[in-house]
């Protein structure tokens, strides 16, 4: 009885495999869908009644199994590399010349060309004709095991057809979502009130990386083979194109637009033809892939670090459309940069619906001569970032309005600064601007600033997200009881943070100036300011002319300093910090005739410094009169050595040079 059931199952499986190939590979189905469904239901019923007879290559296994906890890693026996790009016929000619120069006797006359599908590269491993493993490309050397998800893709055979296939063969190709399937998927999502996918590539990638393969099984994914990797137990054709035909004969689908071409001019014509028909194709593409057809020539040419020398992706120009500019909004980034964002009449371009585009800065607005109400040409540069490239002047309405760049920050109302020679305008409210809050606080507590131990990035983000702090001064108002409400912050950890904040109140003027996050005021500049002016009050009151007299400070940094301290809100935060106990030792004035302790000395720094940043230490030494160099020589007077000092320390010892520690340097500064 069991034997007859097994025979029936094998016949059903073979029949279903055959019809799947006719439908997905040959594109010539022999039975209507209802008949295929009837055969599948018959198979499912018998397997349900006889679970011990279910095989891994059964068509029933396409429905998906139990969810996974995570994806395991798969090492690629042969790396899955990416492709270099060409963007013009000249680039293609240069590619061809590089090959000819490297392999002048190789057969480089014939090419295999195919559309460059916008999907996800995968590797399929067949052993004795059965699919046993599927993996993503990953970083090229290691990918993720997605076998269970790939089994659900109808166009991928679970068992190879025909005969003559190798005992072990790795087939590589692209998993993608056809346009029609993508549209239906999004229509269904909209009806359910769920989030829609941005484009077919994102949909394919998201579907393929589901931990629950039953979800993948419901997604309209497809596959086209484009090459082979590991091959054992059989010889394949020496022609890349003929290998495609071999794969097709074994039930693996190939892109119907794949062509074998006999000259570079034919390749260029193929590129133009595919680009012309791009929108009519059933799938998204962003160029064509051109490969030397002769396998022996491929092996002779070999690879560079990340790509084969015998293949290239000839990318399409960015797609363009015309739409209406309805408005311009000004967004403030985390560093204070103010970016004008064009609000557009939604338009489908480059595979996605675009409703926003960057205008970059005031110079770009002036260059384009664009106004609100204009018809504008939108391009998705690289098929990724939408931008306005031109104005359709003859469509400009009388009601078009000039775009006025704001003088005040749209978030915090602080003054907007634009330094001469820079294109970007920035908010000067670094300590109070909500848009810059997280970055300002992260910088304030960083090791080279006030160095608050235990107050890391995740804690700062929680404090801001929960609206518990707005400015650096608010940090010193926190109590341990308040901090314990944060994730993974127990009473002891919270008390440690409060203790670290109290400890950080004792600092130096240089560190305090650096902690304020004034643009282009790094450790060395902060040290120079402190040594030159001696007090915070003098730094705040310094004029542009006085600032440029300081070592290493030019017009731009001076402008940033005056802009920062001219903002009343910034000065108010500084005052709060002082009231809350932030302090530093006074810097003593040197007598006019007093020689600096390291005046005229040639000094070298080496090793890791635990209490000072390298730039801060260098600035401190220069302020003490030293000339700081990068290498040890007979002219070196002193070597300051931190931890793990290497060859410089050895050389200094050999030359009998005076060696001091980081503690000696700190004592000198104090």
Q: Does 33 show up as a binding residue in the annotation?
A: yes
C-beta neighbour count of 421 within 10 angstroms: 7
For residue 65, the model assigns a pLDDT of 52
What mean pLDDT value characterizes the chain? Answer: 87
CATH class, domain 602-669, is alpha beta
* pLDDT > 60? residue 593: no
137 carries a ligand binding annotation:
yes
The per-residue pLDDT for 435 is 83
Instruction: Tell me the per-residue pLDDT of 381-407, one tens digit each, with 9 for 90 and over.
Output: 545 578 888 899 889 999 999 999 999
**What are 595-648's pLDDT values in tens digits?**
678 888 899 988 887 777 777 788 778 777 888 888 888 889 999 988 878 888
Q: What is the pLDDT of residue 113?
A: 98
Predicted pLDDT of residue 351: 65
Per-residue confidence (pLDDT) for residue 590, from 0 to 100: 55
Q: Is 35 annotated for ligand binding?
A: yes
Catalytic residue among 116, 159, 371, 618: 116
How would residue 450 be classed by pLDDT, with cut points 50, 70 and 90? Answer: very high
Q: The domain at 423-589 falls in which architecture?
A: Orthogonal Bundle (1.10)
Tell whether residue 409 is among the known ligand binding residues. Answer: yes
Specify whether the CB–CB gap between 186 and 196 falls below 8 A.
yes
36 annotated as belonging to a binding site for a ligand: yes
Q: Which residues contact 598 (CB under 8 A, 6 or more apart)?
A: 621, 624, 625, 626, 638, 668
Domain 2-63 has CATH 1.10.287.610: yes
Q: What is the pLDDT of residues 134-160, one digit of tens each?
A: 999 887 888 899 999 999 999 999 999
Q: Report how far residue 332's alpha carbon sits from residue 353's, in angstroms, rounded to the nearest whole number.
A: 24
Which of 39-53, 68-82, 574-588 shows the highest mean pLDDT?
Answer: 574-588
Q: Tell me how long the chain is.
A: 670
Q: What is the pLDDT of residues 478-492, one digit of tens each?
A: 999 999 998 888 899
What gap in Å lies between CA 165 and CA 130, rounded to an integer? 11
pLDDT of residue 353: 84
SS (H, E, C) 422-482: CCCEEECCCCCCHHHHHHHHHHHCCCCCCCCCCCCHHHHHHHHHCCCCCCHHHHCCCCHHH
Quick one: pLDDT band at residue 477, thresholds 50, 70, 90?
A: very high
User: CA-CA distance, 280 to 628, in Å (whole number)?
Assistant: 66
Q: Report, as an integer, the average pLDDT of 581-585.
A: 93
Confidence check: pLDDT of 26 > 70: no
**Do the annotations mark residue 34 as ligand-binding?**
yes
Q: Is the pLDDT of residue 40 over 80?
A: no
> Per-residue pLDDT tens for 64-81?
455 556 789 999 999 898
Catalytic: 635?
Answer: no
Q: Is 278 annotated as a binding residue?
A: no
β-partners of residue 239 are 294
Give strand pairing partners of 401: 372
Q: Residue 279: what pLDDT? A: 84
> DSSP state, 415?
B
Q: Give the Å distances, CA to CA, from 448 to 33, 263, 513, 524.
A: 68, 61, 11, 11
CATH of the domain spanning 74-94+108-263+279-308: 3.30.470.30
The yes-or-no verdict on residue 577 having pLDDT over 80 is yes
Give the neighbor-by-neighbor strand order of the sheet with 111-117.
85-86, 311-315, 285-292, 111-117, 259-261
Say yes or no to pLDDT of 33 above 60: no
Task: Consult the annotation and say whether 112 binds a ligand.
Answer: no
Q: Is 315 known as a binding-site position? A: yes
**What distance in Å separates the CA atoms of residue 409 and residue 416, rounded to the nearest whole number?**
6
The pLDDT value given to residue 670: 62
Virtual torsion, Cα 386, 390, 394, 397, nearest 10 deg: 60
Q: How confident is the model at residue 1 (pLDDT cuts 50, 70, 90)?
A: low
Structure confidence at residue 158 (pLDDT): 93
CATH superfamily of 320-395: Nucleic acid-binding proteins (2.40.50.140)
Task: Count CB atoms within 10 A of the CB of residue 86.
Answer: 21
Return the axis-axis angle of helices 2-24 and 33-49, rounded to nearest 10°.
150
Highest mean pLDDT among 219-228, 309-318, 384-393, 627-636 belongs to: 219-228
- Domain positions in the chain are 2-63, 74-94+108-263+279-308, 320-395, 423-589, 602-669
pLDDT tens-digit series, residues 455-470? 888 899 899 889 999 9
Which pair of tokens denotes residue 292? 């030397």
Does 59 score more than 80 pLDDT?
no
Please give the average per-residue pLDDT across 180-207, as a whole number: 83
Q: Does the annotation place 83 within a ligand binding site? A: yes
pLDDT tens-place string over residues 403-443: 999 999 998 999 998 877 778 899 988 888 888 888 889 99
Percent of the chain beyond pLDDT 90? 48
Assign 524 a pLDDT band (cuts: 50, 70, 90): confident
User: For residue 172, what pLDDT is reported?
Assistant: 97
| Parallel/antiparallel/unpaired status of strands 416-417 and 352-358 | unpaired
Confidence of residue 277 (pLDDT cuts 50, 70, 90): very high
């Amino acid at each position: 009885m069991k034997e007859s059931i097994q025979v029936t199952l094998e016949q059903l499986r073979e029949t279903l495999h055959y019809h799947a190939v006719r439908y997905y590979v040959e594109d010539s189905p022999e039975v209507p869908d209802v008949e295929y469904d009837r055969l599948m239901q018959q198979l499912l019923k018998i397997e349900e009644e006889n679970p011990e007879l279910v095989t891994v290559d059964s068509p029933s296994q396409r429905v998906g199994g139990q969810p996974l906890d995570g994806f395991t890693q798969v090492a690629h026996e042969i790396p899955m590399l990416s492709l270099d790009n060409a963007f013009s016929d000249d680039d293609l000619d240069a590619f061809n010349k590089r090959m000819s120069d490297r392999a002048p006797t190789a057969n480089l006359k014939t090419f295999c060309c195919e559309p460059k599908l916008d999907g996800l590269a995968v590797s399929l491993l067949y052993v004795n004709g059965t699919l046993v493993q599927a993996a993503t490309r990953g970083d090229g050397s290691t990918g993720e095991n997605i076998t269970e998800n790939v089994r659900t893709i109808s166009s991928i055979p679970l068992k190879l057809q025909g005969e003559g296939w190798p005992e072990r063969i790795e087939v590589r190709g692209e998993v993608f979502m056809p346009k029609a399937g993508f549209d239906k998927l999004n229509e269904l999502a909209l009806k359910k009130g769920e989030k829609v996918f941005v484009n077919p590539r994102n949909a394919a990638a998201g579907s393929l990386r589901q931990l629950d393969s039953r979800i993948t099984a419901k997604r309209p994914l497809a596959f086209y083979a484009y090459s082979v990797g590991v091959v054992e137990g059989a010889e394949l054709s020496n022609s890349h194109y003929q290998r495609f035909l071999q794969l097709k004969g074994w039930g693996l689908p190939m892109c119907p637009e794949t062509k074998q071409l006999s000259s570079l001019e034919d390749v260029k014509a193929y590129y133009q033809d595919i680009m012309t028909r791009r929108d009519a194709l059933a799938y998204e593409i962003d160029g064509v892939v051109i490969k030397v057809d002769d396998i022996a020539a491929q092996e002779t040419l070999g690879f560079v670090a990340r790509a084969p020398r015998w293949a290239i992706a000839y990318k399409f120009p960015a797609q363009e459309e015309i739409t209406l500019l309805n408005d311009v909004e000004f967004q403030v980034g985390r560093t204070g940069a103010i970016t004008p964002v064009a609000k557009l009449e939604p338009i489908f371009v480059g595979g996605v619906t675009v409703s926003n585009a960057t205008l970059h800065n005031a110079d770009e607005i002036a260059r384009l001569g664009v106004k609100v109400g204009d018809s504008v040409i939108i391009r998705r540069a690289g098929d990724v970032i939408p931008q306005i490239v031109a104005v359709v002047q003859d469509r400009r309405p009388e009601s078009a309005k000039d775009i006025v760049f704001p003088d005040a920050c749209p978030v915090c109302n602080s003054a907007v600064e634009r330094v001469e020679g820079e294109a970007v305008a920035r908010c000067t409210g670094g300590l109070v601007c909500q848009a810059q809050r997280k970055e300002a606080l992260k910088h304030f507590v960083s090791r080279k600033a006030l160095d608050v131990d235990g107050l890391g990035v995740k804690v700062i983000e929680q404090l801001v997200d929960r609206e518990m702090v707005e400015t650096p001064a608010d940090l010193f108002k926190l109590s341990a009881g308040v901090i314990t409400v944060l994730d993974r912050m127990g009473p002891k950890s919270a008390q440690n943070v409060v203790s670290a904040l109290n400890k950080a109140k004792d600092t130096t003027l240089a560190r305090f100036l650096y902690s304020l996050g004034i643009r282009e005021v790094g450790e060395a500049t902060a040290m120079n300011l402190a040594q030159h002016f001696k007090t915070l009050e003098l730094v705040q009151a310094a004029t542009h002319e006085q600032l440029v007299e300081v070592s290493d400070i030019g017009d731009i940094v001076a402008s940033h300093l005056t802009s920062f301290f001219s903002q009343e809100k910034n000065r108010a935060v500084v005052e709060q910090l002082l009231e809350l106990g932030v302090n530093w030792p006074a810097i003593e004035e040197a007598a006019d005739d007093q020689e600096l302790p390291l005046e005229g000395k040639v000094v070298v720094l080496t090793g890791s410094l635990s209490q000072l940043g390298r730039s801060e230490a260098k600035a401190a030494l220069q302020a003490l009169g030293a000339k700081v160099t990068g290498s040890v020589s007979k002219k070196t007077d002193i070597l300051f050595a931190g931890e793990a000092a290497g060859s410089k320390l050895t050389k200094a010892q050999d030359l009998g040079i005076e060696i001091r520690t980081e503690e000696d340097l700190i004592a000198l500064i104090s």
